Amino acid sequence: MRSPIRWITCTLALAGALAAQTVDRTKAPETPPLPAFKLPPTDETKLPNGLQIVMVRDTRFPLVTVRLAFEAGSRFDPPASRGLSEAVASLLNEGTKKRTSRQIAEESGSIGGAVGASSSADSLMISGSALSENATKLMELVADIARNSTFPIDEVKLYQENRKQSLLEQRSQPEFLAGEKFNEVIFGDNPYAGVSPTPEMIDKLDIPTLTKFRDAYLAPNNAVLIVIGKIPERAALMKLIEQQFGDWQRRDIPATQMAAIPAPHKSITLVDRPGSVQASVHVGRLAVTRVNPDYFPVVVGNTILGGGTSSRLFNDIREKQGFAYSVSSHLAPFKDAGVFDAGMQVRNEVVEPALTSLLGHLSNMAKEPVSASELSNVKNYLSGVFVLRLQSQDGLATQLAAVKTMGLPNDYLEKYTTNIRSTEPDKIQAAARKFIAPDDSAIVVVGDASKIKPALDKLGKVDVVQEK
């Protein structure tokens, strides 16, 4: 048995040794160097029908993750059918020629996974996962949903009712209205405006309309198939893929004419919402795509400015001045455009000083170089979050699908952290002058015009529009 006296003596000696060490508690511990992301070995090929295939072996877990991504996002919606891509994605797994909605749900659950679809501005993506022993069943389900969906009338009607209810809820939120109007001001008639459908548009959804969109854009020569996980050997996996997708006929993808995006220009738009005690504010302009040389300087600068609870906007406008509970900035890069946006929700009585502070921070990003500590902290944060996201099959599959559908270089993921870490203050300041400074920015505010218009009048001509 250990002697109590000896144990106490050793403990006191250790405590004394630790106390003798000099520890500067005013400085945060140094972050060890983060290794650059290394993409696992990938095997890329293409079927004769044009289907791109990316296979990545990951044997850490007995799982398989699949993405089947198409360039078929909301920007391909006809002007009179906004929300069509979203509707198609939501209804793909609600019934096929072989399976009912319930059968799809039960079969995907029985293989230890799930199958579904979603739509964004640029792409429509079918997602699936399963235990690796069920890879064959998973691939069959994904192929069936992509190729054989029938959009059963009962499911379409249910979707219409649910979508109209969610639209009512969305349009009751001033922040939703502000974001919608902001995108409309920035993009004009271009479909990147992403304006939500009207109830009438939702009511007009029918099986022929849904099927026409599916048949036009969900084609093998407009798709990329990502397969990640504990997958079969290449020959066996290719045989499986060819069985499910090999006889899928390629199609001519419709040429799409999209309205030009207006040049950035200063404007102030006030959406009148009588009785509102808060104002939702958005300030921003056209920015960069991921292939623009200024992309990484804008990413880093935006994160310093408003990318979290350590950002300038949060610490000043929320913490120091108490003007807003939520304030942040964002960069949304699409395939053919990008938008920078800083936003907040503030009480009517502080709209003027809050907006003045916000505009001041946007201007300062262009006038003054960021500090060394800000830059170091944000580089560590962005690099760490990026690498962490790619540790899961789901995260890596989603990023690989984005690389392919958005036309990014094959080494985009591997060079991401290097590009972040090589971004210097002069590059951030130069990019901020072009894309963050408020000189040519649009200001959109949703609130009670009778209460807040005088404050906005001090900034220039205000265009007042009524809430839809």
Q: Do 154 and 291 fall within a single domain? A: no
DSSP codes joined into one string, 137-153: HHHHHHHHHHHHB---H
Domain co-membership, 325 together with 405:
yes
**Does one domain contain both 189 and 331?**
no
Tell me, yes or no, whether 199 and 296 share the same domain. no
- Of 245, 280, 310, the last residue of a domain is 245
Domain residue limits at 59: 42-245
One domain, residues 289 and 405: yes
On whether the CB atoms of residues 450 and 256 are closer than 8 A, the answer is: no
* 3-class SS of residue 41: coil
Cα dist from 464 to 438, 449, 468, whole Å: 20, 8, 12
pLDDT at 6 over 60: no
Whether 126 and 225 map to the same domain: the answer is yes
How many C-beta atoms surround the C-beta of residue 391 within 10 A? 11
Tell whether 176 and 119 lie within a shared domain: yes
CATH number at residue 342: 3.30.830.10
- According to DSSP, the residues that pair with 67 across neighbouring strands are 127, 226
Q: Which one, of 366, 91, 52, lies nearest residue 205 by Cα? A: 91
Closest to 221 in 3D by CA, of 52, 407, 404:
52
Instruction: Based on the fold, state whether residues 240 and 199 are members of the same structural domain.
Output: yes
Q: Are residues 294 and 217 in the same domain?
A: no
Both ends of the chain: CA-CA distance in Å?
80
> What is the overall mean pLDDT for the chain?
93
- The confidence score (pLDDT) of residue 279 equals 97
User: Virtual CA dihedral for 119, 125, 129, 132, nearest 10 degrees?
Assistant: -170
Mean pLDDT of 385-410: 94
Which of the four pLDDT bands, split at 50, 70 and 90, describes residue 21? low
Q: Count structural domains, the chain.
A: 2
- 277 and 415 in a single domain? The answer is yes
Let me know whether 90 and 177 are in one domain: yes
The answer to whether the beta carbons of residues 70 and 86 sit under 8 Å apart is no
What is the C-alpha separation between 402 and 125, in angstroms, rounded? 10
Assigned domain for 1 exists: no
Q: 443 and 324: one domain? A: yes
Average pLDDT over residues 362-373: 96
Q: Which of 291, 286, 76, 288 is nearest to 194 (CA)?
A: 76
Token pair 């579904």 is found at 116
With respect to residue 252, please indicate whether it lies within any of the assigned structural domains: no
Question: 35 falls in which pLDDT band (50, 70, 90)?
Answer: low
